[in-house]
């Protein structure tokens, strides 16, 4: 991300070449940024903390005397809510973003 793009504009003309270069840089870097974000969110340490959180919620709800069915539902809701980024991104086709063909 060391590249600097300067857009020079004369009056009302659209700097098509500058925009093409800008979108080219964005097209190259956004997929890598998303991959790196996923890698940092879903590493082994994060997974371990996620599992501990689920176990803690389950244990706490059970100790409070809630019915097993309710404990399971609440635990599943918690587990699903923690995967919000994965849910938000599951329909993105990264090949389309980079302009690659199948």
pLDDT in tens, 3-56: 676 766 666 677 778 888 888 888 888 888 888 877 776 778 888 888 899 999
pLDDT at 85: 62
Structural domain contains residue 78: yes
Q: Is the pTM of this model over 0.75?
A: no
Better pLDDT: 97 or 87: 87
Q: What pLDDT sits at residue 60?
A: 95
Which pair of tokens denotes residue 71? Answer: 């404990």
Whether 1 maps to a domain, the answer reads no
- Band of residue 92 on the pLDDT scale cut at 50, 70, 90: low
Structure confidence at residue 61 (pLDDT): 95
Q: Is residue 29 part of a domain?
A: yes
Is 2 among the domain residues?
no
41: domain range? 16-98
Q: Is 101 helix (H, G, I), strand (E, B) or coil?
A: coil
Contact 5, 75 (CB under 8 A): no
How many structural domains comprise the chain?
1
Closest C-alpha among 48, 74, 43, 47 to residue 60: 74
In a domain? residue 52? yes
User: In the prediction, which pLDDT does 102 show?
Assistant: 46
Total count of residues recorded for the chain:
102
Distance CA 16, CA 49 (A): 48
- The answer to whether residue 59 sits within a structural domain is yes
Give the integer Cα–Cα distance in Å for 34 and 15. 28
Whether residue 8 lies inside any domain: the answer is: no
In a domain, 27, yes or no: yes
Surface-to-core class of residue 12, CB atoms within 10 Å of its CB (0-12 exposed, 13-18 middle, 19+ buried): exposed
Q: What is the pLDDT of residue 29?
A: 85
């Amino acid at each position: 991300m060391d590249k600097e793009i300067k857009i020079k504009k004369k009056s009302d003309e659209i700097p098509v070449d500058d925009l093409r270069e800008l979108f080219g840089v964005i097209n190259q870097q956004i997929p890598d940024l998303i991959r790196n974000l996923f890698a940092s969110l879903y590493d082994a340490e994060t997974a371990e903390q996620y599992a501990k959180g689920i176990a803690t919620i389950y244990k706490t709800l059970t100790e409070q005397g809630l019915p097993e069915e309710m404990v399971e539902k609440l635990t599943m809701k918690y587990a699903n809510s923690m995967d919000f980024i994965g849910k938000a991104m599951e329909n993105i086709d990264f090949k389309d973003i980079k302009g690659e063909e199948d």
